[in-house]
Structure 1
Amino acid sequence: MTATTGFRNGRVRVLIVDDEPALTDVLSGAVEEAGWRPYPALDGQSALRIARGCPPHAVVLDGMLPDPDGLQVLRRLRYESPELRVLSKSQILDHVWSSSFDGGGNLVEVYLSGLRRKIDKGRAPMIHTVRGLGYAIRPVEDGR
């Protein structure tokens, strides 16, 4: 089965990998609401096993997973499924708004800021900036 078969024969398959069950549940719910089919995994080994059985169209991956870490999982997924695409922030901007769009250099950050306001309203923050890497999502009870 190719990565595009699911688009024609059923719902989009989204592999969701995070070691925090509450976050995996929230993301799975959002994926279902979008009409897609979530495949949650709580660790890298489970994610690889799921992907081998049912190749995903998209992957939401915690880069800070314990062994194997998110980068190792991503490398393995791409090795086993070369058609799996990985997009950088600049590629997302180009694909969503097009390269001719002049939304400024912080467009992704502006949208992330709005997401933070919605998620963190009235409680400790869940989304944290990791300098030089991107963003980390930590459960509220983490206290950091």
Structure 2
Amino acid sequence: MQSPDPVRLLVVDDEPHIADLVATVARYEGWQAVTAGTGQAALSRAAEFGPDIVVLDLMLPDFDGFTVLDRLRAGGNAVPVVFLTAKDATADRIAGLTRGGDDYLVKPFSVEELMARLRAVLRRSAGLAQQPEARGAVLRVGDLTLDEDTREVRRGDVPAELTPTEYELLRYLMRRSPAVLTKAQILDHVWEYDFGGRSNVVELVISHLRRKVDAGGGEPLIHTVRGVGYVVRQAHR
């Protein structure tokens, strides 16, 4: 039986000891890992190496990590990106996730937690390919549809372009609709690891979903139930 290809990881950080540490741990996991210390080097490495996932610092000597991500996406590269940075402001977290990042970890960090997050993002990116028993359904709530075969999400006739994390969160909410899901349930199902109360990532991703799913002027379908959690459903009449 042929073994699967190793995960290809690109680590972008201008602190060589951090980049080398992450790359070394990844290699112990059996992954292939390369590093870059500038934004331009990151883009070149991404083009040459074809990574399956990227760890990306925000503060780089030439241009910042947001610019690296923007240029990757503008070039049609949808590789999952996990930000690893000392910038812990909520505005930075929102910018990182809104602009197409998949996760955001603040320095100082645990290498074990970073690897757990990378594995979780890779699982979400692989998505339905790893869950063939779940294929075939078209989920519907009002005029919102999610096709589990094609991974297409539409609000009426308008497609919604979601990151793997946004897709998996919306899919979970729609599968459980009209049940209200707590933040703990969402973290356990979508992220598959414990944030320990250190992140408001659920609120951030929900806010991005609202912009993409509910921003067209139709009836809002993503609701916050104060003190409980979140639900996708049509409003009660």
Three-state SS of the structure 1 residue aligned to 2:23 is helix
Q: CA deviation at 1:13?
A: 0.7
Aligned length: 103
Go from structure 1 to structure 2 and tell me whether the alpha carbon gap of 1:55 and 1:34 turns closer, same or farther (over 3 Å shift).
same
Deviations 1:30-55 (A, max 9, x none): 21122111111111111111111121
Partners of 2:76 and 2:11 in 1: how far apart?
A: 16
TM-score by structure 2 length?
A: 0.36
| Structure 2 gap segments, 5+ residues each | 81-100, 105-164, 188-192, 200-237
- Residues 14-44 of structure 1: per-residue CA shift (max 9 Å, x gap): 1100000110111001211221111111111
Aligned pairs for 1:53-132 within 5 A: 53-85=48-80, 86-88=101-103, 91=165, 102=182, 103=184, 109-110=195-196
- Residue 105 of structure 1 and its aligned partner are, at CA, apart by 8.4
Distance change in 2, residues 1:88/1:20 (3 Å): closer
Provide the aligned C-alpha RMSD in A. Answer: 3.3
Say if 1:58 and 1:111 are closer, same or farther in 2 by CA, change over 3 A. Answer: farther
- Greater percentage in strand: 2
Report the secondary structure of 2:77's partner residue. Answer: coil
Q: 1:111 to 1:60 in 2, by over 3 A?
A: farther
Offset of 1:108 from its aligned partner? 5.2
Give the partner amino acid of 1:19. Answer: D
Q: How many angstroms does 1:80 deviate by?
A: 2.3
Residue in 1 aligned with 2:44?
49
Show CA shifts across 1:76-127 (max 9, x none): 12222433243156x38x57xx6577427887541879xxxxxxxxxxxxxx
Residue identity over aligned pairs, in percent, reads 33
Distance 2:46 2:197 in 1: 30
- Partner residue, 2:28: 33
- 1:123 maps to none
Instruction: Say which is worse superposed, 64-73 or 74-83, in terms of deviation.
Output: 74-83
Q: TM-score by structure 1 length? A: 0.57
SS at match of 2:25: helix
Whole-Å separation in 2 of the counterparts to 1:26 and 1:16: 10
SS in 1 for 2:58: coil
Contact kept, 8 Å, 2:72 with 2:78, in 1: the verdict is no
In the alignment, which residue of structure 2 is the partner of 1:119? none
User: CA–CA distance in 2 between the matches of 1:38 and 1:111?
Assistant: 30
Cα pair 2:14 2:37 within 8 Å, conserved: yes
